[in-house]
Amino acid sequence: MISASMPVCTCDRCGCRLDRGSLRYEMKVGVRLAPAARLLTDDDLEENHLHAVARMLSDLPDDQPAPVEPEAHHAAFVLCPACCRRWRHDPLGNRMAR
Ligand SMILES: [Zn+2]
C-alpha cells in the first residue's frame, strides 16, 4: 500500500528523500569516443604520413555525428536540488578533492 508519507524516490547521489511535491532533476550522462579519438603521434606527423593524415581528415564528414561505439555508455540519475547545484558548480568533483 502506498502512503502519502512514503518518499516517492531518493536522490541517487546523496540518498535524501524526495517526497511528493519536491523538485528533482534528471542528470543524463554519456561517454563515448571523441570524433577524432586517437590523438596524433609524432609518427603521424612525419612528412611521409602528412599527406595520408590530411587525406583522412578531408574525408571525414563535417556535420555527421560520430557513430555510437560499443564503448559508449549512457546513464540517467535523479538528483535533489542541492546535489544539482553541487554538480553545476563542480561536475567532475575536482574542486572537492583539493
Ligand atoms: Zn542529493
| 2-15 confidence digits (pLDDT tens) | 565 666 899 999 99
CA of 89 to the centre of ligand 1 (A): 14
Q: Distance between CA atoms of 16 and 76, rounded to whole angstroms? A: 17
pLDDT of residue 48: 66
CA of 64 to the centre of ligand 1 (A): 36
CA of 68 to the centre of ligand 1 (A): 31
Question: Residue 32: is its pLDDT beyond 70?
Answer: yes
Q: Distance between CA atoms of 12 and 92, rounded to whole angstroms? A: 16
Which pLDDT tens digit goes with each residue over 51-74? 776 777 777 777 766 555 567 899
pTM of the complete model: 0.60
Type of residue numbered 35: P
Q: Distance between CA atoms of 58 and 9, rounded to whole angstroms? A: 50
CA of 14 to the centre of ligand 1 (A): 4
Model confidence at 46, pLDDT cuts 50, 70, 90, reads confident
